[in-house]
Structure 1
Amino acid sequence: MEHWEIILFFLIIAFIYSSVGFGGGSSYLAVLAMYSFPYQEIRLTALICNVIVVVGGVYIYVKNKQTDWSKILPITLVSVPMAYLGAVLKISQETFFLILGITLIIASLLLWIKTDAKNNEETSVYNEGSLIKNGFLGGGIGFLSGLVGIGGGIFLSPLLNLMKWSTPRKIAATSSVFILVNSISGIFGQVSKLSADMDYVRIGSLCFAVFIGGQIGSRMSLNWNPLVIKRVTAILVLIAGINVLIKYW
């Protein structure tokens, strides 16, 4: 496989992110955007890798009963069809990279924002929002997720924290479910119009790399500061976003 170093990058990203409960979709896109791969392959690869890494986290959240389905469903039910629509929408490669560059820059800003990590469920007051508001939020992020090739958690989680939507733990659980279902929906949209330019050996190799990295990271108790990881990632994602815009503007 050409550019074998990407396998190592993906393994490390999955290892670090899974060890602190993240998915890593934006970082996969940021790495892939630095190479001249077909844009449809970039989207499909990032979505599949997202599913592989985040499915374990969703299982743990469900097992520990941290998923509040009455709050998750209004957001995800609208986001799933919108993610599919975003994935099947026909756009040019130049348009894709333009949207991707802008998306990465916005994502880097959201990653940089420090939200309150305290989890005092008894004294805090949360604003759950209306069904319509949650539906619009989920639908909008879902559409962008399918269009670009991310799970959407990088946008949903910071916004829900800023809105004081629920406890940090329940927001993390909601984001994990959101990433999983939207990534799956986006994959279905992508496979409906696969390009002949795709390198399936490369896609399979990267998926295997994130599986290994994700499994190791999720099973290791690492005392890493999630905020530090988020902000280092924010800088890298920002650089990748600016580079994409300069290259394809």
Structure 2
Amino acid sequence: METVLLGLAVGLAVGAVVGLVGAGGAIIAVPALVYVVGLEPNEAVPTSLIVVGLASVAGALPRLRRDVSWPLVLLIAIPGIPASWAGTAVGQLLDPDWLMLCFALVMILAGARMLASAGNGRPGARSAEQGGWGGLALRGIPVGLLVGFLTGMLGVGGGFLIIPALTLLLRVPMPRAIGTSLVIIAVNSASGFAAHLDGLSIDWTLALSFAAVAVAASLAAARLAHRLNEALVSRIFAAVIFTVAAGVLVQTVPHLLPGQAAAAPADPPAAGASLASSRLSFGERSLNVLVENHTSEDLVISAAQLESGAYSGPAPWTPADGDATTLRPGGRVALPVNLPEAACGERETDFDAHVRLTLGTGRELVLPAEDPYGTVAQAHGQDCLQQEVDAVASFALVPDLEVAADGRTAVVRIRVTPSGGSGSVRVRIDSTTLLSKAPERPWPREVAVEAADEASVIELQAVPARCDAHGLAEDKAGTRFPLEVEVAGARSGQLRLEPPPEFTAAVYGFVRSACSLR
């Protein structure tokens, strides 16, 4: 909700500027969406194109009959397409700071010329529109090429460049320049949005609410602009230009001063680390630390540990046979670490982690641990849920499996031992890949347990979930019963009951017998 409200405020400002001066939308919208609303650039750009395009259309509507030069729209927009490609290619070769400095200088020059124009009170020369198609093409096409090139090179919307070109180079009156600029911006926005359709990522609620406010503000500002004289609109436009140019200079000039050169790139890290888990290792409360050698020499790892504020201490790895592990250049190794007790509490948990390697030379290497799948957060959540459930009651599978005389059904027993303290938990027991509910004896839909209850046993009559010899041979979790638990006033989620070895062996024997498998 807060994001949408910020978007509405930004949309109001963008629409007002677009409707009043016929420009300024994209250069205001993109930074505002990134720095004020908090969008990522890949979302801000297409969102801005929607908003600025619709606001430009709205601002142009009241001006279509008398304030749009359609020949200039044609002559500036079409040549600007290939010119913008050329400008983009040149811009990619320039240092970003110098590129932005060029942008600021162009804005200052345009603002100064607009103020000079406002002081004169009239264009001061014959408009290019009065010279017929030949005169328009002779002066309009070069303007389109120049505007397209600078737009592509500087990476900004064309409104800031189009209006000065129309008023100063082609001597188009300000109201007509604004209307013509709005149509050109709408065309460019539609073209730019089409280029972003592949892999489009947009918050449509934000975009549409943003656009609705911008359109309304643009329509209101367009009507207001007709009541203002050209000199005042020129001064407003110049003020917007100077404001943007000042902001660019503040951000750019310090980077270009002597002694502010960018530091030399740091040497690449000797190794990289990331985290992963499997269904089996996760049930055993261990994670895999994946270490990759980025050097051209062997890395000899004699010890390692995973460190994170989410746990009470480090999670160590030591070689199973006591020998160090040698990691070849470009190679990767998985180091399993056993997780200590989770640090559960009301404070916000930091899930960032790093890996500390002890090399054969005695040197330590500390690496940030990439965790793209949220492995630490997931493991921490499971551990804290288990702690909260254990504070109410413990659940354990009884090792013995009671098989019926006909060998087709069996009774699974879960022993419930309340803690004797306070609190309650609700439990729903699900089937596994090997065992499911017997049709004639459904399992309890939900079991409520109080910490002050007496010890009890839950009985589940089960049948084989499938008769598949291959599935039985490859089984990893078929005897781990999943519990959907909800602790009163605390967490909820899924836990798995870890089976004793005797129970696992009994289940395998039961499934083979019931399914007539060898």
Given the two structures, how large is their TM-score scaled by the length of structure 2? 0.38
Q: 1:167 aligns with which of 170, 173, 183?
A: 173
Q: Give the match for residue 110 of structure 2.
A: 110
- Given that 2:147 and 2:162 are in contact with CA atoms closer than 8 Å, whether structure 1 keeps it comes out as yes
Quick one: which amino acid aligns to residue 164 of structure 2?
P
Quick one: which amino acid aligns to residue 44 of structure 1?
P
Percent sequence identity over aligned pairs: 18
SS across alignment from 2:51: helix
Q: 2:237 aligns with which of 205, 217, 230?
A: 230
Q: Give the match for residue 46 of structure 1.
A: 48
Quick one: which amino acid aligns to residue 27 of structure 2?
S
Q: Give the match for residue 197 of structure 2.
A: 191
Q: Flag structure 2 segments of 5+ consecutive residues without an equivalent.
A: 130-134, 257-518
Q: Computing the radius of gyration over CA atoms, which structure comes out larger, 1 or 2?
A: 2
Q: When you count strand as a share of all residues, which structure comes out higher?
A: 2
- Given that 1:157 and 1:172 are in contact with CA atoms closer than 8 Å, whether structure 2 keeps it comes out as yes
Q: How big is each residue's C-alpha offset from its partner over 1:135-164, in whole Å with a ceiling of 9 and x where there is no partner?
A: 232133224435655430211111221124
C-alpha separation between the residues in 2 aligned to 1:110 and 1:247? 23
Q: Give the match for residue 183 of structure 2.
A: 177
Query: Bigger relative contact order, structure 1 or 2, given CA contacts below 8 A and separation 6+?
Result: 1
C-alpha separation between the residues in 2 aligned to 1:9 and 1:247? 31
Aligned CA distance change for structure 1 residues 86 and 29 (closer, same or farther; 3 Å):
farther
C-alpha separation between the residues in 2 aligned to 1:78 and 1:173? 19
Q: How big is each residue's C-alpha offset from its partner over 1:22-77, in whole Å with a ceiling of 9 and x where there is no partner?
A: 34222224435657865444443333222011001222222x24333233322222
Q: CA RMSD in A?
A: 4.0
C-alpha separation between the residues in 2 aligned to 1:6 and 1:46? 14
Q: Flag structure 1 segments of 5+ consecutive residues without an equivalent.
A: none
Shift of 1:107: 2.7
Q: Mean alpha-carbon deviation: is it higher for 205-214 or for 223-232?
A: 223-232
- Given that 2:50 and 2:211 are in contact with CA atoms closer than 8 Å, whether structure 1 keeps it comes out as no
SS across alignment from 1:151: coil
C-alpha separation between the residues in 2 aligned to 1:5 and 1:248? 34
Q: Give the match for residue 78 of structure 1.
A: 79
Aligned CA distance change for structure 1 residues 127 and 227 (closer, same or farther; 3 Å):
closer
Q: Give the match for residue 246 of structure 2.
A: 239
Q: Mean alpha-carbon deviation: is it higher for 2-11 or for 72-81?
A: 2-11
- Given that 1:27 and 1:233 are in contact with CA atoms closer than 8 Å, whether structure 2 keeps it comes out as no
Q: Give the match for residue 161 of structure 2.
A: 155
- Given that 1:47 and 1:183 are in contact with CA atoms closer than 8 Å, whether structure 2 keeps it comes out as yes
Q: How big is each residue's C-alpha offset from its partner over 1:213-243, in whole Å with a ceiling of 9 and x where there is no partner?
A: 3314423654774345324423431233124
Given the two structures, how large is their TM-score scaled by the length of structure 1? 0.71
Q: When you count helix as a share of all residues, which structure comes out higher?
A: 1
Residue 17, structure 1, aligned to residue 38, structure 2: no
- Given that 1:80 and 1:181 are in contact with CA atoms closer than 8 Å, whether structure 2 keeps it comes out as no
C-alpha separation between the residues in 1 aligned to 2:8 and 2:87? 27
C-alpha separation between the residues in 1 aligned to 2:249 and 2:35? 11
C-alpha separation between the residues in 1 aligned to 2:169 and 2:90? 33
Aligned CA distance change for structure 1 residues 38 and 14 (closer, same or farther; 3 Å):
closer
Shift of 1:8: 4.6
Quick one: which amino acid aligns to residue 56 of structure 1?
A
